[in-house]
Every structure is written in C-alpha cells, then in structure tokens.
Amino acid sequence: MAANNSGAPAEGTDRQYEILIALVDADPDIERRVVIPDQITLADLHLVIQAAMGWANSHLHAFTTPDGVTYGDSSLDELGYADESDVVVADVLRAPRDTLRYEYDFGDSWEHHVELVAVRSGEQSLPDAPACIAGRGACPPEDCGGVGGYHELREALTNPSPEHDAELREWAEEFIDLPLDVDAFDLAAADAAVRDLADADGRMLWSDPGG
C-alpha cells in the first residue's frame, strides 16, 4: 500500500489504532497509550511517539519489524533502512498484538515496544485523533546514557554518597529540572502535544506542509 501523503485516512477507511508505547527495561514502567489514524506513515508515528513520550526529537531513530525490516529517515538509506515516509502504519501493524520496535537516539539506545492494542471504528473512534489517552512514568532526560544511565542518575540524585559520581549531580543541576520525579506524568500536557501535530480536520500537519 502506498503512503497517503496528505496524512488523512485512505478513501473508504476511518479506522483508528490504539497503540501502546512502552520504554523497554524501564523501572518503574514508562508507558503511553495513543490513538492514531491507521493510514498515517511511520514518519508520522515517530513524531506522535516523540510528543506523547516527551522526547525532544533531537536524535536519530528507527523502527524494526519482528521479521527484521528496519525503517528510518530517508537519510539512513545507506544503512539499508527503508524510508519510513513510504509506508503507512496499517502496512506493518495489521491486527491487535502486532508489534514494532522503536529505537530513539542510537547512542543512548532508548528502545520502545510499540504494540497495536485495538482497532477502533465508527462510534469507537475519537473525533480528533491523534490523541494521547493514558500514560505513566516520567520521560527520562535526554542524553543521560539510556536506561542504565538513567538508573545511575536517579541513584546519584536520590541517594547521594561517595559511591555516586558527583559529576552526574552537577550535570543534572545544569540540564534538567530538579527534584527528579520518576512518576511524574501530565496526561493533559501529553495529549495536547500529540493533538497539536494535526490541524482541525485531522490531517497531520507535517505530512502536508504546503497546506
């Protein structure tokens, strides 16, 4: 199926996907649930994930299917990645329980489990998808070293001792808001960030910059 460059659902379809996004190996859990039109591209889904999670979209990313096909930005074609803007979500997530792996920041390697939870249509549909409908856990700070680095940072901030690197605390004081609350999640803010990715008629703004 060819990508729908307007960002709107394909003609004759009005399906929405409810998708779970979970940061792999996070403790405590860091998860988001979003609802999206099933005909948006993987490039669009990338931005929905960024907005819902709270990432800054300042690093490279990629999607990988269970059978090993990897999609990314067109600039990554030299790595053998397929162009994520050429495939719609419904091409790779076809039924509930279908999954993708989403990696953000190849240095820190934040890996996310992306799973199709439910397919909505008719009265089940939201009038203004995309939206973030649930979540828990604060998004980790950018550039803190992945899940392992985030754990070390939390230890350095919550249990100061000579065993913990003072440089971590100094870095935190400069680059993140303190005190660090690992459970903080503002659903209204996450939902607003996701909704801001589409215009009033539901079209994804980044898919049709010419209007």
pLDDT in tens, 25-68: 999 999 999 999 999 999 999 999 999 999 999 999 999 999 99
Cα radius of gyration rounded to whole Å, the chain: 18
The predicted-structure confidence for 150-163, as pLDDT tens digits, reads as follows 888 888 777 766 65
Give the pLDDT confidence score for residue 164 in this predicted structure.
60
Q: Which residues contact 92 (CB under 8 A, 6 or more apart)?
A: 42, 63, 65, 71, 98, 100
Counting runs of H as helices and runs of E as strands, what totals does the chain give? 5, 8
Give the pLDDT confidence score for residue 12 in this predicted structure.
40
| pLDDT range class, residue 75, cuts 50, 70, 90 | confident
% residues pLDDT > 90 (the chain): 61
% residues pLDDT > 70 (the chain): 81
In degrees, rounded to 5, the angle at the alpha carbon of residue 204 between the alpha carbons of residues 119 and 112 is 60
Q: How far is CA 61 from the centre of its chain?
A: 10
Please, what is the angle between helix 187-195 and helix 42-53, to 10°? Answer: 150
**Residue 24, helix vs strand vs coil:** coil
- Lowest model confidence (mean pLDDT) among 107-121, 150-164, 165-179: 165-179
Q: How far apart are CA 6 and CA 148, in angstroms?
A: 40
| pTM of the entire predicted model | 0.86
Q: Which residues of 107-141 are buried (b: 16+ CB within 10 A; e: fewer)?
A: ebebbbebbbeebbeeeeebeebbbbbebebbbbb
Give the pLDDT confidence score for residue 137 in this predicted structure.
96
Which residue's structure tokens are 């779970």?
20
Q: Which residues contact 11 (CB under 8 A, 6 or more apart)?
A: none
